[in-house]
């Protein structure tokens, strides 16, 4: 499987992190912890500050599944927001429709959630929405629509994922959710340094 033309396995190995959520990439990193194209016992050289910033940027970008152009727009918006730029960036990414669908538990990964959105299976306030990058605001209602098989798979995913985060409230049938508040930066649980991402774009 590829993302933006690159094999996902190579992306995970290059980043040293499973940004896709699929357990098979955890197993891949256990077998091949070194980056692609490197010998298993090759001595790694110290990265430059730029290389470290680039790595953190790629981690965050691939975690949410955005291309460079779209991701840059999120950063540019965060740079003009009041308060911490890093916090503003994380909140904006968490507030995207695809991420809200994933956080609702309806898909096993953010990439799978993006597919649900793109294929028109998600309603926002009763209207079909097909843009993964769309922001969902407090008070918005989300609903998953589709075949019975899709509903069954979504409920099975919910069982595996457990409760939704505090900023989302799932309905009784599991296939509806309401945005009760803005997500907090900590809700992103990004295993990296978002400040280095900001520094990369502020050069």
What is the per-residue pLDDT across 171-200, written as a single tens digit (0 to 9) for each? 988 999 999 999 999 999 998 899 999 999
Residue 10: pLDDT band with limits 50, 70, 90: confident
pTM, two decimal places: 0.86
Residues sharing a CB contact under 8 Å with residue 20, sequence separation 6 or more, in sequence order = 3, 8, 11, 12, 62, 109, 110, 111
List pLDDT tens digits, range 99-127: 999 999 999 899 999 999 999 999 999 99
List pLDDT tens digits, range 58-90: 999 999 999 999 999 999 999 999 999 999 999
List pLDDT tens digits, range 85-99: 999 999 999 999 999
């Amino acid at each position: 499987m590829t993302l933006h033309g690159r094999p996902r396995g190579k992306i995970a190995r290059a980043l040293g992190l499973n940004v896709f959520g699929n357990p098979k990439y955890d197993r891949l990193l256990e077998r091949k912890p070194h980056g692609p194209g490197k010998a298993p016992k090759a001595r790694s050289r110290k990265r430059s500050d730029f290389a470290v910033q680039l790595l953190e940027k790629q981690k965050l970008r691939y975690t949410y599944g955005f291309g460079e152009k779209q991701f840059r727009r999120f950063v540019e918006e965060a740079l003009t927001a009041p308060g911490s730029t890093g916090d503003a960036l994380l909140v904006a990414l968490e507030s995207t429709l695809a991420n809200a669908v994933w956080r609702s538990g309806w898909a096993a990964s953010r990439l799978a959630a993006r597919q649900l959105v793109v294929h028109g299976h998600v309603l926002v306030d009763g209207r079909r929405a097909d843009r993964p990058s769309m922001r969902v605001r407090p008070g918005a209602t989300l609903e998953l629509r589709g075949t019975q098989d899709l509903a069954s798979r979504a409920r099975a995913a919910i069982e595996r994922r457990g409760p939704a985060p505090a900023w989302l409230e799932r309905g009784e049938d599991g296939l509806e959710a309401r945005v009760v508040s803005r997500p907090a930066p900590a809700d992103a649980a990004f295993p990296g340094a978002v400040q280095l991402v900001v520094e990369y774009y502020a050069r």
